[in-house]
Chains A and B, each alone.
Chain A
Amino acid sequence: MKELFPAKQVNGFVFSLVLTVIAISVYFVDMSYEIGLTILLVTAFIQAGVQLIIFMHAGESKDKGSIYTSLFYAIFIALVTIFGSLLAMVWGYM
């Protein structure tokens, strides 16, 4: 029976529901803007990871090398673009 029950997927589903609840709580619970945004960002990234690994099966097939490479490449470029733009257009702008 054990092989038939998709424990990983069910746990993943519960976990992603928990993450969603935490994210929604930012709206209802009274907290500062910074803390709220931090919670949102953190839960969003974990959520994306859960979806990718558990439900989109990254890492289960032969080409997991290319999948993870392009994923990290994309994350790197996204972060660089966002923080670089903030630096160029807001923080470092006189």
Chain B
Amino acid sequence: MEFFERFAVPHPSPLIYASMVAIGLTVLAIIFGITYFKKWGYLWKEWLTTVDHKRIGIMYMISALLMLFRGGADAVMMRLQTSVPDNTFLEAQHYNEVFTTHGVVMIIFMAMAFIIGLMNFVVPLQIGARDVAFPRLNALSFWLYFAGAMLFNISFVIGGSPDAGWTNYYPLASNDFSTSVGVNYYNWALQISGLGTLMTGINFIVTIIKMRAPGMKLMKMPMFTWSALITNAIIVFAFPVLTIALIMGTLDRQFGTSLFTSTSGGMDMQWANLFWIWGHPEVYILILPAFGVYSQIISTFSGRNLYGYKSMVGSMVIISLMSFLVWAHHFFTMGHDAFTNSIFSITTMAIAVPTGIKIFNWLLTMWKGKIRFTVPMLYSVAFIPLFTIGGVTGVMLGVASADFQYHNTMFLVAHFHNVIIPGVVFAMLAGMTYWWPKMFGFMLNEKIGKWAFWFVSIGFCFSFFPMYITGLDGQARRMYTYSESTGFGPLNMLSFFGAGVMAIGFIIIVYNVLYSIKNSPRNIGDDPWDARSLEWATQTPVQEYNFAITPEVESSDAYWDHKKKGYQLFKGNIEKIHMPNNSGLPIIMAGIMLVFAFSFVFYIWAGVIVAAIAFLACLIYRSFEKDDGHYIPVSEIKETENKNGGAN
């Protein structure tokens, strides 16, 4: 029995026991459901072993949405706890665990998964490719991410959640102050999903550099593809830093080194330094694809090509370099001299300039355009003013001397939610709605979608604007409660109200999906939005091979030219198509990695060793495996093309 004691939750509460039961029942229900409807074979053949970038993209997005609800539930719990002074709904320890989980889930498992999901689905279509450069690696990326997400999510029912914040600062995260296995979970969950992300980075850079359709010069790529290229470059340079920092943290916690302690020659603030060397580029990893999505949507629904294409690209390149120059603004108050703080302060403010250029480009794209206020466009239009507020408060925080006042208050919390929600989350909702017909062959209901938009965006304002005020009045972040005499009560109640409105908005989105599955018309054609770039030249829903004939392209709005200027996209004849084979190896390897990491979290060395050997065996197997893919014969392609009314 002693062996099992380590899995007990260190700070149990009725809420946690209820979740255990709920998780258990859900898993059973899913297994039962799949078995009952005899879907195991279908699931395995069509999804779990797939290497198709479109399906992997969809799986990323489904996981991201699940994580959005997990993180959202945490958010509502936090706002509920702080809605009135001296509340006792959550105690301090639980509150710590909840905000830590919320932050990690939202950034790493929701936002990252969402952008990578969209990139997966859209980028190969936009550049006229049949898949990514390394399809099987892509599947491995997804399954590693998924394993990381699952590992992190079971922490609160097995062994205890991390409780040192998503930033996980030492010494708080050390064994002395964080005594459960929670931070081990943090280290390993981020480690394995981070590996997946790094592979995605390499994969997409190669794909975009090497696999563009004939004629698509770099400066003729659609803007979302550009943003994906830059984002993945940042990923490749930023994520190794996180990898190393997490290994160092693991060494400290599990092998007794003192890298992040202030005794024995270690340095506790070194963690903060390394974390933010990764962390600040990470926020740009999140926002750049969002910029790409907005660029596509705004240009489509303004009926104009994107204003200032070159300056858009240039500003992204500059942002990608500058995002590595500013990280110390996250710890201005750590104890630097004025000279050091000034340097990082200036770089921080400078990065707002290229961001501002992009804002003007979007405005000028809409200028004199014939705007259609569809759901994706509504999100994009709301993004511009809301994100600008977030940017301005960012510059305020960037003033080092003033930051001593704002740092670690609710003002900071308001800032980053103000850039992340209208920036990233709106973009993901907009992008999902925009590309939905390509993914599933029907559209989401516009009317319900607009209702959801208003709930989400008005809820956002009520939820986060009050925090600017309480933050300036001195309400610290991450405090589980406050006394009545502080006067923070009413504004926090307002914030809880806003969170509730947002939550309703998200529920409406789910309802919209269900409603549209049932009621939306299926005969929508290939181009329901009257869009411009190459992905719309495919059939709806997209065939396995994307394009029957490789398109030839002369501009970033190739499909628009095809429609309006009679430009011929598909010049060749149908030939047999080479496609990669499905493989069960990625999901198996990720499963082994999950066992490895789980055992590591709990110091079960036997499990670690067995899993490591199994993993190695998979690598060796893969090295000697002969897999040349398969060909789709011309007759089959012709048949599918004719059945669906053919693209050309």
Residues of A within 8 A of B (CB): 63, 66, 70, 73-74, 76-77, 80-81, 84-85, 87-89, 91-94
Contacts and interface: CB of A to CB of B under 8 A. Distances in A.
Interface string B317-347: 0000100110110010011110111011000
B293 interface: no
A43 to B, nearest CB: 25
A93 B237 contact: no
Given A73-B233, A77-B237, A81-B241, A88 B325 contact: no
B543 interface: no
B324 A89 contact: no
Given A66-B209, A93-B337, A94-B337, 6 more contacts: A84-B325, A84-B327, A89-B267, A89-B273, A92-B336, A93-B335
B324 A87 contact: no
A94 B335 contact: yes
Contact of A87 (B269, B334, B335, B343): B343
A88 to B, nearest CB: 5
A88 B269 CA distance: 10
B261 interface: no
Contacts of A87: 328, 340, 343
Interface string B270-290: 100100010000000000000
Contacts of B273: 85, 88-89
A73 B341 CA distance: 25
Interface in B522-553: none
Interface of B: 209, 233, 237, 241, 267, 269-270, 273, 277, 321, 324-325, 327-328, 331, 334-337, 339-341, 343-344
A87 B277 CA distance: 13
Among A63, A85, A88, A89, max chain B CB count under 10 A is at A88
15 contacts: A66-B209, A74-B237, A77-B237, A81-B324, A84-B327, A84-B328, A87-B328, A88-B331, A88-B340, A89-B267, A92-B336, A92-B340, A92-B341, A93-B334, A93-B336
**Which of A66, A84, A94 has the largest number of chain B CB atoms within 10 A?**
A84
A77 B7 CA distance: 42
B328 A88 contact: yes
A63 B233 CA distance: 17
A85 B336 CA distance: 12
- Interface SS of B by simple majority: helix
Contacts of B241: 81
B331 to A, nearest CB: 8
Contacts of B344: 88
A85 B272 CA distance: 11
A76 B317 CA distance: 14
A76 B321 contact: yes
A92 B233 contact: no
A81 B237 CA distance: 11
A76 B324 CA distance: 10
A94 B277 CA distance: 20
Nearest to B322: A80
Nearest to B327: A84
A78 B327 CA distance: 14
A81 B277 contact: yes
Contacts of B343: 87
Contacts of A76: 321
Contacts of B335: 93-94
A76 B321 CA distance: 9
B269 A85 contact: no
Contacts of B324: 77, 80-81
Nearest to B237: A77
Contacts of B331: 88
Contacts of A92: 336-337, 339-341
Contact of B270 (A66, A84, A89, A91): A89
B212 to A, nearest CB: 13
Nearest to A76: B321
Contacts of A81: 241, 277, 324
Contacts of A77: 237, 321, 324
B340 A91 contact: yes
Contacts of A73: 233, 237, 321
Contacts of B321: 73, 76-77
B203 to A, nearest CB: 15
Contacts of B337: 92-94
